[in-house]
Amino acid sequence: MIDDLTVSESTVRTACGDVALPEMGVLEQRWETDPIAPESVADEAAAAVGDLELENVPAGGEVAVGAGSRGIDNLPEIVGGVVDGLRERGYEPFVFPAMGSHGGATAEGQREKLATLGVTEEAIGCEIRATMDVVTVGETPEREVPVYADAHAVEADAIVPVNRIKPHTDFGGDVESGLSKMLVIGMGKQRGAKMAHDWAVDWSLRNMLPEITDRLLESLPVAGGIAIVEDQHDETTHLEGVPPSGFLEREAELLELAWELMPKLPFEELDVLVVDQLGKDVSGQGMDTNVTGRRHFTINEPEPETAEIKRIFVRGFTEKTKGNAMGMGQADFAHRDVLAGLDWSKSLINAITASTVRGVRLPPVVETDRAGLIASLGTIGPVPGEDARVLRVTDTMRLKRCYASEPLVEAAREREDLRVVAEPAPLEFDDNGEFAAASPD
């Protein structure tokens, strides 16, 4: 079956003709970062609790702390610090999973999902209350869309979501991934997540999130949220307590900071981008659309402003994604390892839930790395292979080091934010036509 869907290297060569391959060097991006020391993260998270609005919470009152997003640096320490900060102020905190339908849309599955993130009762020092039960707390003013919230959170004296602020892969707006999204979709559990993604097709999350967030702030005792911003190395660089007054405005400002700090490709215009691995642990869409500049699989959402890439060749999966190929539809060509490793069921379920089914369209599958590069170079127009602007990266999250073709290396010499680590040299392949060099970062 795999061979039936795979185009051989000889066929690619016949179709593309005599394509010269570029020489490749190694570049490193120079990032100035100032992460919070790991041993100080918990204390800073506890201190951020002081910026929340807890005056109306009675002494000994219960505070529901929402947690659940994947890939956040120091998450157990941050959640544990928030728990300590609340307890020091005389409140009784508990944690609830705020992750929509993740974990198989079961209470035990969500508890287990938190455990995989390091958030256990032992690690954070308080009870975890997991349920998929929700309460309808109202509806939006004009469209009358129902608004749901976790039953345990609704019963608490205060609610505090803890989440990272970052650009979203499926839409752009004043608020994207962060505190508001956790309140609307994460705290809404499976029903809230399904409602949001259903309406996103017609209404758009960029319009929906602020309106439903306002409704939740009016209806529930949200004391604010703990916002996390990470740097280019995905390390914790900023922690802040955001009170409900000015909630959306401050989150929008922190999103701008997150945009500035997120890792990006060192060049905005490329002929070919080779991505060694895609995966859900890299991005919700396998490859971060804010890096690739491709969001064509969404509905009613504009493309990101950057980057401009003619061809993307993806080579495989991360181990943690377990065959979830969400986002492979961004690529123009895929290595046979993508076809061999993908889990169609898992990928399609994810795509249907997110209403982004075009994101799991299988690109043309090629036999080898050499075939993928030739196919990419052979379809970029009248650009000689040796002059092509080619970049190879580990994934769209690990972008500090990358392989770069000679024109990009020459351009890098004129930039202070880039360093040439290795001079361009002819590409080497093993006996099977695969790249001899390991992933760059």
For residues 122-136, give the mean pLDDT. Answer: 96
Cβ–Cβ under 8 Å, residues 21 and 374: yes
Residue 239 in 3-state DSSP? Answer: strand
Gap between the Cα atoms of 377 and 375, Å rounded: 6
Average pLDDT of the residues of the chain: 92
Cβ–Cβ under 8 Å, residues 107 and 132: yes
CA angle 344, 345, 348 (to 5 degrees): 80
Per-residue pLDDT at 139 exceeds 80: yes
> What pLDDT, on a 0 to 100 scale, did the predictor assign at position 300?
61
61 Cβ contact list (under 8 Å, min separation 6)? 91, 92, 156, 157, 158
> What pLDDT, on a 0 to 100 scale, did the predictor assign at position 298?
65
The position carrying tokens 């390892």 is 337
What percent of the chain is modeled with pLDDT above 90?
Answer: 74
Cβ–Cβ under 8 Å, residues 316 and 335: yes
For residues 115-136, give the mean pLDDT. Answer: 95
The position carrying tokens 């000679």 is 406
- What digits encode the pLDDT tens for the residues 81-101? 999 999 999 999 999 999 988
> What pLDDT, on a 0 to 100 scale, did the predictor assign at position 133?
96
- What digits encode the pLDDT tens for the residues 198-211? 887 777 888 888 99
> Considering the entire predicted model, what is its pTM?
0.85
Per-residue pLDDT at 299 exceeds 70: no
Per-residue pLDDT at 1 exceeds 80: no
> What pLDDT, on a 0 to 100 scale, did the predictor assign at position 381?
94
Query: Token pair for residue 186?
Result: 């994460």
> What pLDDT, on a 0 to 100 scale, did the predictor assign at position 142?
77
> What pLDDT, on a 0 to 100 scale, did the predictor assign at position 203?
79
> What pLDDT, on a 0 to 100 scale, did the predictor assign at position 338?
96
Per-residue pLDDT at 364 exceeds 90: yes
> What pLDDT, on a 0 to 100 scale, did the predictor assign at position 301?
66
Per-residue pLDDT at 63 exceeds 80: yes
> What pLDDT, on a 0 to 100 scale, did the predictor assign at position 357?
86
Confidence band, pLDDT 50/70/90 cuts, at residue 29: very high
Confidence band, pLDDT 50/70/90 cuts, at residue 283: confident
For residues 41-61, give the mean pLDDT. Answer: 96
- What digits encode the pLDDT tens for the residues 220-266? 999 999 999 999 998 999 999 999 998 999 999 999 999 999 999 99
195-204 LR contacts (CB < 8 Å, sep 24+): 195/145, 195/146, 195/148, 197/353, 197/354, 197/355, 198/355, 199/143, 199/145, 200/170, 200/171, 200/299, 200/355, 201/299, 201/300, 201/355, 202/300, 203/143, 203/145, 204/171, 204/173, 204/300, 204/301
